[in-house]
Protein backbone atom coordinates (compact mmCIF):
# COMPACT_ATOMS: atom_id res chain seq x y z
CA UNK A 1 0.00 0.00 0.00
CA UNK A 2 1.09 3.58 -0.62
CA UNK A 3 0.51 6.73 1.41
CA UNK A 4 -2.24 7.76 -1.01
CA UNK A 5 -5.74 7.99 0.52
CA UNK A 6 -7.82 4.84 0.13
CA UNK A 7 -10.45 5.31 -2.56
CA UNK A 8 -13.90 4.32 -1.31
CA UNK A 9 -17.26 3.62 -2.91
CA UNK A 10 -20.19 3.75 -0.47
CA UNK A 11 -23.19 1.57 -1.42
CA UNK A 12 -26.32 2.06 0.70
CA UNK A 13 -29.95 2.69 -0.21
CA UNK A 14 -30.52 5.30 2.53
CA UNK A 15 -29.41 8.72 1.32
CA UNK A 16 -29.09 10.14 4.84
CA UNK A 17 -26.85 7.28 5.90
CA UNK A 18 -24.68 7.59 2.77
CA UNK A 19 -24.26 11.31 3.36
CA UNK A 20 -23.48 10.82 7.05
CA UNK A 21 -20.90 8.11 6.38
CA UNK A 22 -19.37 10.16 3.58
CA UNK A 23 -19.00 13.16 5.90
CA UNK A 24 -17.58 10.94 8.64
CA UNK A 25 -14.94 9.35 6.40
CA UNK A 26 -13.98 12.50 4.50
CA UNK A 27 -12.56 14.10 7.64
CA UNK A 28 -8.84 13.34 7.53
CA UNK A 29 -6.45 12.21 4.83
CA UNK A 30 -6.76 8.41 5.15
CA UNK A 31 -9.70 8.01 2.78
CA UNK A 32 -11.39 9.73 -0.12
CA UNK A 33 -14.91 9.02 -1.39
CA UNK A 34 -14.87 8.49 -5.16
CA UNK A 35 -18.57 7.69 -5.45
CA UNK A 36 -21.80 6.49 -3.87
CA UNK A 37 -24.41 3.98 -4.99
CA UNK A 38 -28.04 3.52 -3.97
CA UNK A 39 -28.78 0.13 -5.56
CA UNK A 40 -26.96 -3.14 -6.11
CA UNK A 41 -26.75 -2.60 -9.88
CA UNK A 42 -25.48 0.92 -9.29
CA UNK A 43 -22.75 -0.42 -6.98
CA UNK A 44 -21.66 -3.00 -9.59
CA UNK A 45 -21.56 -0.41 -12.37
CA UNK A 46 -19.70 2.23 -10.36
CA UNK A 47 -17.21 -0.26 -8.94
CA UNK A 48 -16.30 -1.29 -12.50
CA UNK A 49 -16.13 2.34 -13.64
CA UNK A 50 -14.36 3.95 -10.67
CA UNK A 51 -12.17 1.03 -9.53
CA UNK A 52 -12.14 1.96 -5.82
CA UNK A 53 -9.83 0.28 -3.34
CA UNK A 54 -12.74 -0.63 -1.05
CA UNK A 55 -16.52 -0.80 -1.46
CA UNK A 56 -18.42 -0.20 1.79
CA UNK A 57 -21.53 -2.28 1.10
CA UNK A 58 -24.92 -2.53 2.78
CA UNK A 59 -26.72 -5.86 2.35
CA UNK A 60 -30.28 -4.55 2.01
CA UNK A 61 -30.22 -2.94 -1.44
CA UNK A 62 -32.88 -2.49 -4.15
CA UNK A 63 -32.86 -4.64 -7.35
CA UNK A 64 -29.76 -6.72 -6.45
CA UNK A 65 -28.93 -7.25 -2.78
CA UNK A 66 -25.51 -6.58 -1.30
CA UNK A 67 -24.48 -10.24 -1.30
CA UNK A 68 -25.02 -10.65 -5.06
CA UNK A 69 -23.50 -7.22 -5.75
CA UNK A 70 -20.44 -8.26 -3.75
CA UNK A 71 -20.17 -11.52 -5.69
CA UNK A 72 -20.28 -9.73 -9.05
CA UNK A 73 -17.83 -7.00 -8.04
CA UNK A 74 -15.28 -9.46 -6.69
CA UNK A 75 -15.74 -11.76 -9.68
CA UNK A 76 -15.00 -9.05 -12.25
CA UNK A 77 -12.51 -7.01 -10.17
CA UNK A 78 -10.87 -9.29 -7.59
CA UNK A 79 -8.50 -6.51 -6.51
CA UNK A 80 -11.46 -4.48 -5.15
CA UNK A 81 -12.13 -5.25 -1.49
CA UNK A 82 -15.66 -5.26 -0.09
CA UNK A 83 -16.42 -4.33 3.51
CA UNK A 84 -20.01 -5.12 4.47
CA UNK A 85 -21.51 -2.45 6.73
CA UNK A 86 -25.05 -3.35 7.70
CA UNK A 87 -27.59 -3.83 10.47
CA UNK A 88 -28.03 -7.55 9.72
CA UNK A 89 -26.12 -9.78 12.15
CA UNK A 90 -27.76 -13.17 11.53
CA UNK A 91 -25.56 -16.12 10.59
CA UNK A 92 -27.00 -16.45 7.09
CA UNK A 93 -26.17 -12.84 6.24
CA UNK A 94 -22.66 -13.02 7.69
CA UNK A 95 -21.61 -16.24 6.00
CA UNK A 96 -23.38 -15.48 2.71
CA UNK A 97 -21.46 -12.21 2.47
CA UNK A 98 -18.13 -13.87 3.24
CA UNK A 99 -18.81 -16.66 0.74
CA UNK A 100 -19.60 -14.01 -1.86
CA UNK A 101 -16.13 -12.56 -1.38
CA UNK A 102 -16.53 -9.82 1.23
CA UNK A 103 -13.34 -9.32 3.22
CA UNK A 104 -14.93 -7.74 6.27
CA UNK A 105 -18.21 -7.39 8.13
CA UNK A 106 -19.16 -4.55 10.49
CA UNK A 107 -22.47 -3.69 12.09
CA UNK A 108 -23.90 -0.20 11.78
CA UNK A 109 -23.28 1.68 14.97
CA UNK A 110 -19.52 1.19 14.82
CA UNK A 111 -17.51 4.33 15.52
CA UNK A 112 -15.31 6.19 13.05
CA UNK A 113 -12.05 4.70 14.31
CA UNK A 114 -13.41 1.16 14.13
CA UNK A 115 -14.68 1.77 10.59
CA UNK A 116 -11.34 3.22 9.49
CA UNK A 117 -9.42 0.31 11.03
CA UNK A 118 -11.66 -2.14 9.19
CA UNK A 119 -11.30 -0.31 5.86
CA UNK A 120 -7.52 -0.18 6.22
CA UNK A 121 -7.29 -3.86 7.18
CA UNK A 122 -9.52 -4.96 4.31
CA UNK A 123 -7.50 -2.87 1.85
CA UNK A 124 -4.36 -4.70 3.06
CA UNK A 125 -5.95 -8.02 2.16
CA UNK A 126 -6.97 -9.04 5.68
CA UNK A 127 -10.37 -10.32 6.71
CA UNK A 128 -11.89 -8.48 9.66
CA UNK A 129 -15.06 -8.76 11.70
CA UNK A 130 -16.54 -6.37 14.26
CA UNK A 131 -16.22 -7.37 17.92
CA UNK A 132 -19.83 -8.52 18.25
CA UNK A 133 -19.29 -10.97 15.36
CA UNK A 134 -15.76 -12.13 16.12
CA UNK A 135 -16.78 -14.78 18.66
CA UNK A 136 -19.38 -16.17 16.25
CA UNK A 137 -16.78 -16.62 13.51
CA UNK A 138 -14.34 -18.18 15.97
CA UNK A 139 -17.09 -20.47 17.25
CA UNK A 140 -17.92 -21.54 13.72
CA UNK A 141 -14.32 -22.58 13.05
CA UNK A 142 -14.10 -24.31 16.44
CA UNK A 143 -17.15 -26.42 15.63
CA UNK A 144 -15.88 -27.06 12.11
CA UNK A 145 -12.57 -28.31 13.47
CA UNK A 146 -14.29 -30.59 16.01
CA UNK A 147 -13.62 -28.42 19.05
CA UNK A 148 -16.75 -27.46 20.98
CA UNK A 149 -17.48 -23.76 21.36
CA UNK A 150 -17.16 -22.51 24.96
CA UNK A 151 -20.23 -22.14 27.19
CA UNK A 152 -22.71 -24.26 25.22
CA UNK A 153 -25.37 -23.45 27.84
CA UNK A 154 -25.59 -19.88 26.52
CA UNK A 155 -27.83 -18.81 23.67
CA UNK A 156 -26.33 -17.11 20.61
CA UNK A 157 -27.44 -13.69 21.85
CA UNK A 158 -26.03 -14.38 25.32
CA UNK A 159 -22.68 -15.34 23.77
CA UNK A 160 -22.74 -12.08 21.87
CA UNK A 161 -23.31 -10.12 25.07
CA UNK A 162 -20.61 -12.09 26.92
CA UNK A 163 -18.15 -11.15 24.16
CA UNK A 164 -18.93 -7.47 24.67
CA UNK A 165 -18.84 -7.80 28.46
CA UNK A 166 -15.38 -9.38 28.20
CA UNK A 167 -14.24 -6.45 26.08
CA UNK A 168 -15.15 -4.14 28.96
CA UNK A 169 -18.24 -2.55 27.44
CA UNK A 170 -20.94 -1.19 29.72
CA UNK A 171 -24.62 -2.14 29.53
CA UNK A 172 -25.31 1.21 27.88
CA UNK A 173 -22.63 0.60 25.24
CA UNK A 174 -23.98 -2.89 24.58
CA UNK A 175 -27.56 -1.62 24.26
CA UNK A 176 -26.48 0.98 21.68
CA UNK A 177 -24.33 -1.46 19.70
CA UNK A 178 -26.93 -4.23 19.52
CA UNK A 179 -29.98 -1.94 19.24
CA UNK A 180 -31.48 -3.35 22.43
CA UNK A 181 -33.21 -1.62 25.32
CA UNK A 182 -31.19 -1.25 28.56
CA UNK A 183 -33.74 -3.48 30.31
CA UNK A 184 -33.26 -6.25 27.74
CA UNK A 185 -29.49 -6.05 28.19
CA UNK A 186 -29.86 -6.26 31.98
CA UNK A 187 -32.05 -9.35 31.61
CA UNK A 188 -29.54 -11.03 29.30
CA UNK A 189 -26.67 -10.23 31.65
CA UNK A 190 -28.61 -11.67 34.58
CA UNK A 191 -29.28 -14.86 32.60
CA UNK A 192 -25.58 -15.11 31.72
CA UNK A 193 -24.61 -14.85 35.40
CA UNK A 194 -27.10 -17.59 36.28
CA UNK A 195 -25.99 -19.96 33.54
CA UNK A 196 -22.28 -19.42 34.24
CA UNK A 197 -22.93 -19.70 37.99
CA UNK A 198 -21.16 -16.44 38.78
CA UNK A 199 -22.20 -13.64 41.11
CA UNK A 200 -20.68 -10.62 39.41
CA UNK A 201 -19.66 -9.03 36.15
CA UNK A 202 -15.99 -9.41 37.06
CA UNK A 203 -16.34 -13.18 37.53
CA UNK A 204 -18.11 -13.52 34.18
CA UNK A 205 -15.35 -11.53 32.46
CA UNK A 206 -12.64 -13.72 34.02
CA UNK A 207 -14.37 -16.89 32.83
CA UNK A 208 -14.84 -15.46 29.34
CA UNK A 209 -11.24 -14.35 28.99
CA UNK A 210 -9.94 -17.69 30.27
CA UNK A 211 -11.94 -19.24 27.40
CA UNK A 212 -10.32 -16.86 24.90
CA UNK A 213 -13.28 -14.52 24.57
CA UNK A 214 -12.86 -10.76 24.55
CA UNK A 215 -9.09 -10.52 24.50
CA UNK A 216 -9.05 -8.46 21.30
CA UNK A 217 -11.25 -5.75 19.85
CA UNK A 218 -11.64 -7.65 16.60
CA UNK A 219 -10.71 -10.95 15.03
CA UNK A 220 -8.56 -10.95 11.92
CA UNK A 221 -7.22 -13.50 9.50
CA UNK A 222 -4.49 -12.40 7.15
CA UNK A 223 -5.14 -13.69 3.68
CA UNK A 224 -3.14 -13.54 0.49
CA UNK A 225 -4.44 -11.56 -2.45
- Pair 194, 218: CB distance under 8 Å: no
For 193-223, what is each residue's pLDDT tens digit?
998 999 999 999 998 888 878 754 443 443 4
This prediction has a pTM of 0.61
Closest CA to 139 of 67, 87, 212: 212
Q: What pLDDT does 131 receive?
A: 62
Q: What pLDDT does 112 receive?
A: 85
- Determine what percent of the chain is predicted with pLDDT higher than 70: 84
What is the helix (H) or strand (E) element at residue 56, kind and residue range? strand 54-57
- The sheet carrying 54-57 orders its strands as 31-37, 6-11, 54-57, 81-86, 104-107, 126-129, 219-222
Instruction: Find the mean pLDDT for residues 49-71.
Output: 94
Instruction: Give 154's contacts (C-beta < 8 A, 6+ positions apart).
Output: 162, 192, 195, 196
For 118-159, what is each residue's pLDDT tens digit?
999 899 888 887 665 655 555 555 444 445 567 878 887 888
Amino acid sequence: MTDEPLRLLIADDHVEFRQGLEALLQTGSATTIVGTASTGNDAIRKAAQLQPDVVVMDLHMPDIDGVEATRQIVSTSPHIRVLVFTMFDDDDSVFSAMQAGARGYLLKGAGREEILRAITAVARGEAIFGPSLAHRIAGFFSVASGRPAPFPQLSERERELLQLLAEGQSNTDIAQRLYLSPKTVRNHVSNIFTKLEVASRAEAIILAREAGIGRQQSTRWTGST
